[in-house]
Structure 1
């Protein structure tokens, strides 16, 4: 990759920091106004949407979310009711296996950071980052943490965008700063290009494999990654922001309508064994990395016209209709009842 001049890179970084600081301030104000919101003002569900039965199927289970930027927890028995709101501010967050990954917004004089928190929300590791926080995931055992940020300064990006995606092994401390250094294989052959971008990691059950999106030459593909081999192998095209199901058999993802992101995205599910796709009953534009509530239900965030996010769910088999799960929130992650 070719880089721009140091002066331009400094200008980009300063402008990004100022923008993020302004967004963070606005988000904090909204969070204070909606610390325990009701459903008033939320997007209406499509015709036929019924009351959610998630609580009945998951007694005692909690969901960790961002209440408009503040790390929070809400009971699935009453997902629209009171929630525990912390003072930890994140642009994106995810919790699994007792580990929470929090991508903090940039400050006026500092860039964003990755905070790795334990089950008591104490900081175990801090990683300085550069760019605009976009995605983060944690492996099921809490060991592996991944993150994606939008960045500037890549000459190939032109009017598009560029990303940086890294992985941290919290057990060994091993840090992979950028997955773009991994070798990409397409249909068995090594693929080389200057415009490769990687984002949206989701981890397999072991500490070595993962899935992600690789984009190059206008094509966005699902890849299977191998950390030890430092390889990315394409599996299917037009698959973005994958999320592996608890049973490890399916990928929830956003699929560009007509393979063109300008048309928006449909939340869909891919069976890994057959690569068969199922478009889910949510017909609105879902620009998010979905999460699995369980093996039958997918959760995701939708934004209202005023910028407030809400967490919705939809059956993973294409049936049913969307349900509003947690109003005034995003970045959902299920916590075990005994956690």
Structure 2
């Protein structure tokens, strides 16, 4: 460029940031503000996470129906948040964003996870918890019941022991011997939703192969804790699988949906509460713990106007009964 036109000054990064990008941002912002004002009512979702370089971020997304009756989801702000992690500070940043966008008077609902429950309620904009996130909290509390946690931990330890350099071939060998498809075990990772379910499902699928592994002397020799051979209760794992499977389907249906999901909450809660009825099995000890968490997070769900209206207006639930408004 300098050879072609020496007098031309190439714009710097700061120029694009302060002029081109800023002007484009303001233009889009005005357009979105107009769309949301025309909609009349909006809901917002907010979440907080920490990036790989240890910077906290708060994301704010708006949801509204445009004049063509199409649901719109617009991320209006991602904030860096390096102040003290407290509800007042987070609430202030979210409030400032809504005021800056001139949206505070048309927000009817704030959805966040349970870690930001105080933030949502302190905004006085109608807080509703993230159903999928709260459901994972319920599952986590049930899985933490001592006798259940012990059995799940045994599966986790077995997965670890089958991943060492000395034992890594044991499971593939057993599967080949039994003429079964070769599949690795799945590890339980606490930060991944339904992770315990996926681990248990694979353990149940590979029950015969695992039992055969436990008969290999060279495998047993390398076990860190040989008690896992007798502590893995496949009957209990199958009961857990039966309980967790519908919960996994519900979580997937909610979290992968591209349309509004408030209409699904009450029908799904009804299904879950029926699942938690005692049935005189080994996992009855976890059901009260899960039910207690359900009461904690969803006790007012059957009187929540957003859930009620969503369910009433959804033609899929014409037969849904509202005669008993609280199943807890």
> Which protein is bigger by CA-based radius of gyration?
2
TM-score range relative to shorter protein: under 0.3
In terms of fraction of residues, the more strand-rich structure is: 1
The TM-score with structure 2 as length reference comes to: 0.23
In terms of fraction of residues, the more helix-rich structure is: 2
| Greater relative contact order structure (CA < 8 Å, 6+ sep) | 1
